[in-house]
Amino acid sequence: MQLDLLNDDAGTEVGSYFVANYPPFSVWSAEQIPAVHDALNGAVGQPKSARAEARGSLGLYIHIPFCRKRCKFCYFRVYTDKNSDEVETYLEALAREVALYAKRGALDGRTWDFVYFGGGTPSFLSSEQLHRLIDHIRRFWAWDDAREVTFECEPGTLKKSKLQAIRDIGTTRLSLGVEHFDDEVLTLGGRAHKSPEIFRAYEWAREVGFPEINVDLIAGMVGDTQAKWEDTVAKALALKPDCLTVYQMEVPFNTVLAREAKDRGTATPVASWATKRAWVDLAFQEFEREGYVVSSATTVYKPSNHKGFYYRDALWHGSDMIGMGVASFSHVGGVHFQNVDSWDDYVGMLSRGELPLSRAYAMSQIERLTRELILQLKLGRVSAGYFRDKFEVEIAEEFAEALESLANVRLIEVDGDEIRLTRAGLLCVDALLPRFYEPKFRNVRYT
């Protein structure tokens, strides 16, 4: 199902908007799990390009599923009701998962090139728990070789001592989940923190000395207005972060906002897509005036202190990544897979010495190409030469219909081998990407 996001009058319907992967998650299945074991074992039956890629860049995603509160727009697997013993149970299961992956042939001798702590709230863990987790990983992998370690934080969970612990494990980019600076908007969205905690946490983070600090913002949250958004952008600018991510609010199916809208029989109380596009554009323009560079549909950075978005760029160019933790996603040698999404299944399977796999999808060569194309389009530009060299395909011919349809309405521009999205195209890029899907995937539910 594709939402009508390009209509200026379109409200924010319930459904998934943000494209994070391809093919759609809904076509992954348990029947394809054997392909995961083949990929992890470095099976020679895989295509040559997949086997070569499996010895290249490798990333690690660690899912910490605990939160003080569940945000009304959150669709991730998180828990707000686990006690200290249960947190320890989860960390023990995570340690078992680390050990199981260390035994797989396709990962043998490789190191983590990039690491991402996501959630949930990774900063929910104590300093001692965090150090213990990293010490366990070090038993199997050379932790200090990572080029980039990103750590997500909820401002209200932070103390200066915990920030120091996060820095001590090698974090290169601290990402603060600010979302907004208006306390009423934060409350209506179910966020656990308030604006004073943001400023306090940011000051501590600067004192600790992280190489980069990222600030997350969301345009169009419940209760947001033009004036409130302009104030949020101004306050974010005043902090002078090294980079920012700016999202447009969506309302996926399994969120509190979706359930409330269904119970009321009304539309979601979220700004229209046209309004959100305009607000993100406003933010981009304000940051550009201060010397920041727009790097994708959701990111801006300060050139003077930017180390690159290695995690993003590696994944969008086909790199392998192992996701550890309940409901985590992975990609190895052209095979997608996801962990089970229930606590009992995750803990139970690992206690039996099993990888907690739930579903998978082994991609064909054209699916691998399409995945990289749609993800790289989110950067605002792609090179036909890259796909010619890697896949021996001319994307101008393979995707002629989609490219022509976007050029005709001035959402993209083509200059030789380079395809560039206009600002208007970049602001609605996720709505454009299904045009590049294979026909069999265009009308299926995304998640």
* pLDDT given at position 52: 42
Label residue 144 exposed, middle or buried (CB < 10 Å: 0-12, 13-18, 19+): exposed
Q: Report the pLDDT value the prediction gives residue 6, as an integer from 0 to 100.
A: 59
Confidence grade of residue 301 (pLDDT, cut at 50, 70, 90): very high
CATH number at 364-437: 1.10.10.920
CB neighbourhood size of 187 (10 A): 13
The predicted-structure confidence for 125-142, as pLDDT tens digits, reads as follows 999 999 999 999 999 999
Q: What is the mean pLDDT of the chain?
A: 93
What is the secondary structure of 147-213 as a DSSP string? SEEEEEE-GGG--HHHHHHHHHTT-SEEEEEEE-S-HHHHHHTT-S--HHHHHHHHHHHHHHT-SEE
* Position 386 pLDDT exceeds 50: yes
User: What pLDDT does residue 214 have?
Assistant: 98
| Structure-token pair, residue 370 | 């399409």
**Nearest to residue 181, comparing CAs of 208, 217, 211, 156?**
217
Q: Please give the structure tokens belonging to residue 234.
A: 């101004």
**Do residues 300 and 294 make contact, with C-beta atoms less than 8 angstroms apart?**
yes
What was the pLDDT predicted at 54? 47
Least confident of 14-18, 45-49, 204-208: 45-49
Check if the beta carbon of residue 413 is closer than 8 Å to that of residue 420: yes
Pick the CATH number of 25-315 from 3.40.50.1980, 3.40.640.10, 3.90.1150.10, 3.80.30.20: 3.80.30.20
* 164 vs 171: CA distance, rounded Å: 10
The residue to which tokens 């299904």 are assigned: 434
Q: How far apart are CA 61 and CA 337, in angstroms?
A: 13
pLDDT tens for each residue of 356-378: 999 999 999 999 999 999 999 99
Please check the confidence at residue 304 and state whether its pLDDT lies above 80. Answer: yes
Domain positions in the chain are 25-315, 364-437
At 335 the three-state DSSP class reads strand
